[in-house]
Amino acid sequence: MTPAASLATTAAPRRWGEVVIEAFIRATGYSAILFVLLILIFLLREGLPALAEVPIGELFGARWYPIEDYFGLLPLIGGSLVVTIGATILAVPFGLATAVFIAEIAPRWARELLKPLVEVLAGLPSVVLGFLGMLVLAPAVRVLLGVPTGLSAVTGSLLLAAMIIPTLVSIAEDALDAVPVSYRHAALALGATKWQTIWRVTLPAARGGVLTAVMLGIGRAIGETMTVMMVTGNAARLPLGLDAFFRPVRTMTATIAAEMGEVANGSPHYHVLFTIGLVLFLFSFAVNLAASAVVFKQRKRAERLLS
Amino acid sequence: MRACRPLTGGLLALLLAAACGGTSVTPAPAPGSAVVVTNKGSDTMVNLALAWAEAYAVVAPEVTLSVTGGGSGTGIAALLNGTNDLANASRAISAEEQAAAEANGLKPTQFVVARDAIAIIVNPSNPVQALTLPQLSAMYTGALTNWAQVGGEDRPIVLLSRETNSGTHVYFLEHVLRLGDAKGPQFFSPDTLLLPSSEGISAEVRQNPNAIGYDGLGYVTADMKTLAVAGVEGGPFVLPSIASVNDGSYPIARDLYMYTAGPPSGALAAYLEWVLSPAAQQIVADLGFVPVK
């Protein structure tokens, strides 16, 4: 058998296998789009009837009291925003600083210890954190801040920050790690200090990954349910004014979780709960869209500079 | 946090599926032909229902009761869609639920199995001893916002309530906030904290001197303070107790119900008969509820 013949006999079946694998990979890739579409269709099917059953003006009302058909969504949207914004403000500086420390500053042994530890934190069940928050953090917040009750947006934000920091650190650290070491060497060779290198070179170079980390963190914060249900007090009040952060709030996720179990199938309340799900979907869609738009813009700019 | 505690070792896996999944389970034809009765609903009644089920396992070992909480509405909804044999409810079935049942061809049958008083609880350090129903209504609607307005310290009032799917919530709305007029104009203040469990309310009342909450008498522990309540301005203040509920002097008390999807028969009928027996009613008293007989 000549070498060419043997190649021909073995190459044909291999190509067949490759076709199957390629098709499989393509199918899994497209299935993500399919699943998102199916979820959207389901939410639209269950949520849109609410727009016919409840006057639109009422959905923008300030009172959420579904057992007597008051379906004002504003307190719930506001509650989710307050808790998520609070968590983001707390988590982003802390998480980025930790990522920079692990990637750029920590000695090798500390780095090898810190990274897995942070990732273990990311797996902490939210109900455990919620229970801790209810029994330990909420009383402490009430005493330390002198607010009427510790079951408030700030407690929820603190716990959510604790939940999203590990995600943020892990992804941001990976992004920083992926920045070629030659960038740092070049900066240092030009006389930049270590801090200038981190702030002006490494972080901007890793901006896409860092932004992804922040967006995933925000996405997790807005979607988190159990923890916020246990510690934010679930009072459906409109969070207006600066003190709203220190008052109880009711988030969209907690509302769905608390009420879905009891609601009569097909009732206006049931449809409105799905409308809330739709609003949540649109929020996380917008967050992700904004993130990829920024990353995409940067990539274009980088390509232009390099060409 | 909903109670979900399967009973007795025997059909543990089956029960878990029945209790947590909310699906009805046909028991395998085991030796002794075991019967599984699903019993779901009111969180107020879940401890009582569990205690009954445990005692009944001794009386009739061939019957296994699978007890779940979730709220009165949850239990009745499950009864109507056929995934629950026996619904515990701390309120009577509503007209809508009755209509839905009839649309499904069911005839829900009601049994008063115990009575319950709703206790008004505050932190032990709160100097207030008693409130009238009109005062409670004004507090929970947001008209009164400081404890000094009802004779207490200068502290903000933090209102605690159960979630809207709790029968206790609806009862409190109709009989306290609206002073007995079910269609009254009053609403819970938007600042009211809606907590998903009795434990949530207890935890906050124990540590927060600003808080006021309500819960079934059976859930009140020694580390909170129960207030005496007067039905009308100037009326006598009465602390909730078995005696004051039975003689009707405590103003916030109610009947606790069990519902079957139709006239009960077989194991279900036998169980309901036992529930009203003196032995079962003694358990009611032991748990801080009020026996019907």
Average pLDDT over residues A189-198: 93
pLDDT 10s digits, A49-102: 999 888 888 889 889 998 888 999 999 999 999 999 999 999 999 999 999 999
Is a pLDDT exceeding 90 seen at residue A216? no
3-class state of residue A88 by DSSP: helix
Q: Do B187 and A63 touch (CB under 8 A)?
A: yes
Using an 8 Å CB-CB cutoff, list chain B residues near A269: none
Is a pLDDT exceeding 60 seen at residue A215? yes
For chain A, percent of residues with pLDDT exceeding 70: 93
Q: Do B77 and A262 touch (CB under 8 A)?
A: yes
Using an 8 Å CB-CB cutoff, list chain B residues near A230: 196, 200
In angstroms, what CA-CA distances link B193 with A123, A203, A248, B9? 29, 43, 7, 38
Rounded to whole angstroms, how far apart are CA atoms B43 and A260? 16
Q: Which amino acid is at A173?
A: E
Is a pLDDT exceeding 50 seen at residue A12? yes
For chain A, percent of residues with pLDDT exceeding 90: 60
Is a pLDDT exceeding 80 seen at residue A304? no
The alpha-carbon gap from A227 to the nearest alpha carbon of chain B, in Å, equals: 12
Using an 8 Å CB-CB cutoff, list chain A residues near B208: 139, 142, 149-150
**Cβ–Cβ under 8 Å, residues B95 and B171:** no
**Cβ–Cβ under 8 Å, residues B63 and B86:** no
pLDDT recorded at residue B254: 85
The interface predicted TM-score of the complex, written ipTM, equals 0.81
User: Which residues contact residue A213 at a Cβ distance below 8 angstroms, ignoring those fewer than 6 apart?
Assistant: A95, A99, A167, A168, A169, A170, A171, A172, A175
A238 touches chain B (CB under 8 A): yes
Q: Do A237 and B190 touch (CB under 8 A)?
A: yes
Rounded to whole angstroms, how far apart are CA atoms B43 and B47? 8
pLDDT recorded at residue A289: 87
- Using alpha carbons, select from B293, B132, B249 the residue that is nearest to residue B240: B249
Which residue's structure tokens are 């942070």?
A118
pLDDT recorded at residue A10: 53
pLDDT 10s digits, A137-164: 999 999 999 999 999 999 999 999 999 9
User: Which residues contact residue A247 at a Cβ distance below 8 angstroms, ignoring those fewer than 6 apart?
Assistant: A147, A152, A153, A235, A237, A239, B191
Using an 8 Å CB-CB cutoff, list chain B residues near A233: 193-195
- Interface A:B, Cβ pairs < 8 A: 81
SS (H, E, C) A46-68: HHCHHHHHCCHHHHCCCCEEHHH
CA neighbours closer than 13 Å in the CB half-sphere of residue A13: 4
- Using alpha carbons, select from B90, B242, B105, B232 the residue that is nearest to residue B167: B90
pLDDT 10s digits, A247-266: 999 999 999 999 887 787 88
In which band, very low, low, confident or very high, does the pLDDT at A180 lie, cut at 50, 70 and 90? very high
Q: What is the pTM of this model?
A: 0.76
Residues of chain B with CATH 3.40.190.10: 9-115+255-286, 116-253
Helix, strand, coil percentages in chain B from 3-state DSSP, rounded to 5: 35, 25, 45
Q: What is the mean pLDDT of chain A?
A: 88
Burial B63-98 (b: 16+ CB within 10 A, else e): bbbbbbbbbbbbbbbbbbeebbbbbbbbbbbeeebb
Pick the CATH number of B116-253 from 3.30.420.10, 3.40.190.10, 2.40.50.140, 3.40.50.300: 3.40.190.10
Regions of chain B short of the pLDDT cut 50: 1-32
What's the CATH class of domain B9-115+255-286?
Answer: alpha beta
pLDDT recorded at residue B145: 94
In which band, very low, low, confident or very high, does the pLDDT at A13 lie, cut at 50, 70 and 90? low
Average pLDDT over residues A224-243: 90
